[in-house]
Amino acid sequence: MNIMMNIPTFTVSQANRYIKSLFDSDLGMQSIFISGEISNFSNHYKTGHLYFSLKDDNAAIKAVMFNRQASRLRFVPENGMKVIVNGRISVFERDGVYQIYVEGMQPDGAGALAVAFEQLKKKLEAEGLFDEAHKKPLPSFPLRVGVITSPTGAAVQDIFNVLGRRFPKAEIIFKGVSVQGASASCEMIEALEEFSRKKCADVIIIGRGGGSAEDLWCFNDELLARAIYACPIPVISAVGHETDFTICDFVSDMRAPTPSAAAELAVPDMTALMMNTASLTERLYGAVGSYLKVERRKLEMLLEQRSFTDPGRFFNSEYELLNRNSVRLKAAAEKILYKEKNTFTEAFSALERLNPLSVLLRGFSLVSHNGQIVESIDKISKDDRLTVQMSDGTADCLVLGTERKNKSE
């Protein structure tokens, strides 16, 4: 006998749908606040939906936050973060799982803006956007100062007044933008890019006067921070009051506590420069005067020396030395010339003795036949024509005959 034949039977879908209807009909489940720690966090990059669990020491509940609600968050949820969520609890029929559909979320303890600020600061710092090595030095004497702020706020008047008073030679290039609201960061980014593209400023001041954290929030925009980092012109951040800090302050090349202070940092004080110049001029004249006084005393002491007071005596001794050296040089030269003259005479005499013309002067003659010297009777024959050279001329002779002299004779 089947005892269950009269008991109604549900399909799984029907059971899940029924359970879901119980949750949906319970007004207490339609708007509920739950605090807990985020775990198993997943950001579905295609849809923008957030999936996670909320847990405490004893239990956990699944949660989902759809893209429309997640896009309004001022911070990025992450594992381990303690939050308070509000939403409705219902059942996901397909899996038979109940979960909270989150409509809103805020950090448990710190505010959402504070958490978002710390998250972005930590991210950009890890990337090196705050490194001192990347920060550009401010120019000492800028001739063009770019100003990016609201055209209607008090900050622009403060900046203009300080720049005009301190360094009137600088030209102010002003770009009016919104400094509050959804479009503010985009306008400031466009202004920075325009300054960079046109290279129309030596230094840039960007900022606004004081306000609430929400009012200053556009200066915590990540894209604005990256635009400041990429700007080739030095940037001074001047946001709010001295106690206010924004991401813009950390990434800029210089942070000023107020807009007026930013103007003071951007340009030198012309009055102070003139006073400093006058002081340096006075010190220079004094130093030159002291130097000339010392050198003049050195010159006076030099002129007091004997070589200047009695220059004739100094030159007399030198003249005497020159005369002695001249006499010695002349004697040495004459000695050398005499020696060389004797050597020349001896050489000349030796050459004269070897000169054949000298022999001819003593009555001897030189006989040649066809240009060849005749030194033997064997080299001529009868009827040969000979040339006889004497000391004062030559004679052509005809050989009538030859006769050898006996050796015994």
pLDDT digits (tens, 9 = 90+) for 53-101: 998 888 999 999 999 988 888 778 888 888 888 889 999 989 889 999 9
CATH code of the domain made up of 118-130+141-268: 3.40.50.261
Query: Has residue 334 got a pLDDT over 70?
Result: yes
Distance CA 25, CA 212 (A): 42
pLDDT at 314: 67
Number of neighbouring beta carbons within 10 Å of residue 400: 7
Give the DSSP letter of residue 18.
H
User: Which amino acid is residue 381, in one-letter code?
Assistant: S
> In this predicted model, what pLDDT tens digit does every residue of 201-229 receive, in sequence order?
999 999 998 888 788 889 999 999 999 99
- The arithmetic mean of pLDDT across residues 279-289, rounded, is 90
pLDDT at 379: 81
User: Measuring CA to CA, which residue among 174, 181, 185 is closest to residue 211?
Assistant: 181
Buried b or exposed e, range 201-229, using 16+ CB within 10 angstroms: bbbbbbbbbbbeeebbbbbbbeebbebbb
Helix, strand or coil for residue 369? strand
Higher pLDDT, 52 or 391: 52
pLDDT at 178: 94
- The arithmetic mean of pLDDT across residues 349-373, rounded, is 76
pLDDT at 390: 81
The pair of structure tokens assigned to 96 is 């038979």
Query: Has residue 250 got a pLDDT over 90?
Result: yes
Residue pair 298/282 in contact (Cβ under 8 Å)? The answer is no
% of the chain beyond a pLDDT of 90: 39
Helix, strand or coil for residue 2? coil
Most confident stretch, 197-211, 333-347, 395-409 = 197-211
Q: How far is CA 118 from CA 131, 211, 259, in A?
A: 17, 19, 24
Query: Has residue 27 got a pLDDT over 90?
Result: no
Query: Has residue 407 got a pLDDT over 70?
Result: no
pLDDT at 145: 96
pLDDT at 183: 92
Higher pLDDT, 150 or 114: 150
Buried b or exposed e, range 361-377, using 16+ CB within 10 angstroms: eeeeebeeeeeeebeee
Query: Has residue 45 got a pLDDT over 80?
Result: no
pLDDT at 185: 93
Query: Has residue 384 got a pLDDT over 90?
Result: no
Kindly report the average pLDDT of the chain as a whole number.
Answer: 86
Give the DSSP letter of residue 72.
T
Distance CA 50, CA 75 (A): 13
Query: Has residue 386 got a pLDDT over 50?
Result: yes
Confidence of residue 1 (pLDDT cuts 50, 70, 90): very low
Confidence of residue 287 (pLDDT cuts 50, 70, 90): very high
- The arithmetic mean of pLDDT across residues 246-256, rounded, is 94
CATH code of the domain made up of 12-109: 2.40.50.140
Starting from the edge strand earliest in sequence, which strands make up the sheet with 254-255, in order?
A: 171-176, 144-149, 203-208, 235-239, 254-255
Strands 393-398 and 97-107 come out as unpaired
Confidence of residue 409 (pLDDT cuts 50, 70, 90): very low
- The arithmetic mean of pLDDT across residues 139-150, rounded, is 95
Number of neighbouring beta carbons within 10 Å of residue 57: 5
- The arithmetic mean of pLDDT across residues 4-23, rounded, is 81
User: Measuring CA to CA, which residue among 342, 159, 180, 131 is closest to residue 236?
Assistant: 159
pLDDT at 408: 52
> In this predicted model, what pLDDT tens digit does every residue of 156-206 receive, in sequence order?
999 999 999 999 999 999 999 999 988 999 999 999 999 999 999 999 999
Q: Domain residue spans in the chain?
A: 12-109, 118-130+141-268, 359-398
- The arithmetic mean of pLDDT across residues 114-136, rounded, is 89
Query: Has residue 3 got a pLDDT over 70?
Result: no
Residue pair 138/118 in contact (Cβ under 8 Å)? The answer is no
Phi, then psi, of 216 in degrees rounded to 5? -90, 0
